[in-house]
Chains A and B, each alone.
Chain A
Amino acid sequence: MMQTNIDVKNTPKIHVQKDFLVVEQLSLQLENNPILNNISFSLPITGITTLIGPSGAGKSSLLRCLNMLYSTWGGEITIDKTSIKQWQAGEDNLRKFIGLIAQKPAIFPASIAENVTFGLPRKQRKQDTTTLIHDCLIQAALWDEVKDRLNQPAVSLSIGQQQRLCLARALALQPSILLLDEPTASLDPRSKQLIEISLRRLAKNMPILCVTHDLEQAKRLQGQLIFMCDGKIIETGESQELLQNPQKLETREFLRWEVCDCD
């Protein structure tokens, strides 16, 4: 696991030499409602970062900003020192670079295999994709369950399988960053476990930002932990440490009651 020197007490801003994705003073308004307020954090080049907070804290909106699904934000987001608003090849290319897995799996009406290769350019799709499909499904811990029926419609899969298919679909593009929006919120324990295992494996090679409101999961995933509430970052730290010894009142309250009152 990548070690990061985080100054927990003074500032939520982190500056590490090897920061891969840096968010600085990000704020977002939608329909005149402030959603995000002065968010700053960074992701190291490998490892899991977990984002916890009560619902409505702006976690999903933050992910959508990173992916340019919302583009009206202010502040600065850079990947490897390049601002994502000035991404040379356009935002479509940026999104291939960042994999996003939504809370609710959105499966396209096509076969399982076609779903995995859905994001690839046409030329690549026409070539032999068997190994790619195999690799991605293995990484997403889905291969054993679907290897006999790759050409069947993907909608026949259970929700847990669909979610892992979404993961495989994102991995097929070989993204450099993975963003997950409560990937296990509506899943059975078995699927949850499988996804967490594959996430820990993937985190050895790429930065992963995982949103969750499940404290147990945050504990299991380890790595960096960011606690967000009401559009602001309240506290940042190493997962084990922050969960056992939170500094801020709001964090303590959330850890005990899973509610948060930031005003």
Chain B
Amino acid sequence: MKIILIMFAIPAILLPAACVLYIFYQAMPALNLSLIFGSDISVVGVNSIGQSILPQITGSLLLMALACFIALPIAFSIALFHAFWASQNHKKLLMTLLQMLQGIPPIVYGLCGLIVFVHTLQWGISLLTGSVILAIIILPLLSNSLIHAFARIPREQTDAALSLGLSKLNVIIRIWLPASWSNILTGLLLSMARALSETAPILFTATVFSGITWPDSIFSPVTSLQTHIFYLAQEGSNIQAIHTAWASAATLLLLVLCFSLMAGYLRRYDTT
């Protein structure tokens, strides 16, 4: 029995390391400084190959940062509503709604965003559209973690602070934030990792293949690492393109892991 189990488990245990190693192995040829700072070697016929992927990195980070910037205050207000104003029934309804929103596949949000923001509101394919869609995608995740972060603060502390005549705002600033910052940060980091790895919803709503180094305004499209990988992956005949794709994948993976592992570390640090 044990032997059979171990046989089955071996692929699951070995695959993660294998995947990561394979990505970096493939990325080796292109993973050097010229990937970031650009080089003069450009392959004729296909633009943007051999160029630096710095615009893509900034694009991805911009999208992520703006999405979090939009989602954070809204998630905060939802969590505070849950903590202070919602009755038991409201709470149940709110959690169900969040669960539902989390269940909807990101591509569906992308599709809706394309209709509402790009066409109806005339924002066009832009940084703003992409960030708003990403913000909506990470909103349930972020609100959930904030709600749980606040729920873990002992009830007595809140009551004691209220009995001292502190206003709700003061209770939040002086009791809740100091007590739960690590949980809040964990949730935020996980949401950032999520926003950074979503590709499908921004493919047709926020990004173009190349030509943008720094968006002029929030209404201009951006380039992003995720979609860059997607476009390059399909350049089947061009070996340089594939190398760049792997290198971009390695960069993206590093960025995402940076956020998600930091979140994991914080969670462990918090429980000890």
Residues of A within 8 A of B (CB): 31, 67, 69, 90, 92-102, 104, 106, 108-109, 118-119, 166, 169-170, 173
Contact of B160 among A93, A98, A102, A109 (CB under 8 A): A102
For the residues of B in contact with A, the DSSP-based class is helix
Structural contact, A93 and B165, CB atoms closer than 8 A: yes
Please pick, from B154, B157, B165, B175, the residue contacting A95 in the complex, using a CB distance under 8 A: B165
CB distance A104 to B156 under 8 Å?
yes
Interface string of B138-177 (1 = CB under 8 A from A): 0000000000000000101101111111110010001100
* Any A CB within 8 A of the CB of B66: no
B88 within 8 Å of A (CB atoms): yes
**Apart from A67-B163, A96-B165, what 5 extra A-B contacts exist at CB < 8 Å?**
A31-B88, A93-B165, A100-B163, A119-B165, A173-B164
A138→B161 CA distance, assembly (Å): 22
How long is the Cα–Cα vector from A31 to B33 in the complex, in angstroms? 64
Please report the total number of B residues contacting A with Cβ < 8 Å.
18
What is the chain B residue whose CB lies nearest that of A100? B163
User: Of B157, B159, B165, B175, which is within 8 A of A92 by CB?
Assistant: B165
The residue in chain A whose Cβ has the minimal distance to the Cβ of B163 is: A100
Tell me, yes or no, whether B179 is within 8 Å of chain A by CB: yes
Q: Of A69, A92, A169, which contacts B167 at CB under 8 A?
A: A92
Q: Check B157 against A108 for contact (C-beta < 8 Å).
A: yes
Cα–Cα, bound, A118→B170 (Å): 11
Given contacts A31-B88, A108-B175, A109-B179, contact A96 B159 (CB under 8 A): no
A102 close to B165 (CB less than 8 A):
no
Interchain CB contact under 8 A, B164 and A69: no
Closest to B175 in A: A108
Q: Determine whether B178 belongs to the interface, using a CB cutoff of 8 Å to chain A.
A: yes
Which residues of B sit under 8 angstroms from A109, Cβ to Cβ? Answer: 178-179
Contact of B157 among A31, A94, A106, A169 (CB under 8 A): A106
Taking A106-B154, A109-B179 as contacts, is the C-beta distance between A119 and B166 under 8 angstroms? yes
- Tally A-B pairs: CB < 8 A: 55
Interface centre among A99, A102, A108, A170, by most chain B C-beta atoms within 10 angstroms, is A108
Contact B161 A108 (CB under 8 A): yes
B157 adjacent to A119 (CB under 8 Å): no
Residues of B within 8 A of A31 (CB): 88
Q: How long is the Cα–Cα vector from A92 to B167 in the complex, in angstroms?
A: 5
**27 A-B contact pairs sorted by A residue (CB < 8 Å):** A31-B88, A69-B159, A69-B163, A90-B167, A92-B165, A92-B167, A92-B170, A93-B165, A94-B165, A95-B162, A95-B164, A95-B166, A96-B164, A97-B165, A104-B156, A106-B159, A106-B160, A108-B157, A108-B160, A108-B174, A118-B161, A118-B164, A118-B174, A119-B166, A166-B160, A169-B164, A173-B165
Please name all residues of chain B whose beta carbon is closer than 8 Å to the beta carbon of A104 when the two chains form the complex: 156
Selected from A69, A90, A93, the residue in CB contact (under 8 A) with B162 is A69
Interface string of B174-191 (1 = CB under 8 A from A): 110011000000000000
Which chain A residues lie closer than 8 Å to B178 at the CB level? 109
Q: Which of B170-225 contact A (CB under 8 A)?
A: 170, 174-175, 178-179
Q: How far is the CB of B110 from chain A (nearest CB, A)?
A: 41
- 4 smallest CB-CB distances across A and B, nearest first, come from A96-B165, A119-B164, A106-B160, A106-B156
Q: With a 10 A CB-CB cut-off, give which of A92, A96, A104 has the most chain B CB atoms.
A: A92
Chain B residue with Cβ nearest A97: B165
Q: How far is the CB of A111 from chain B (nearest CB, A)?
A: 13
Q: How far is the CB of A208 from chain B (nearest CB, A)?
A: 15
Between B160, B165, B166, B167, the greatest number of chain A beta carbons within 10 A of the residue's beta carbon is seen for: B165
Pick from B88, B156, B164, B179 the residue with the most CB of A within 10 Å. Answer: B164
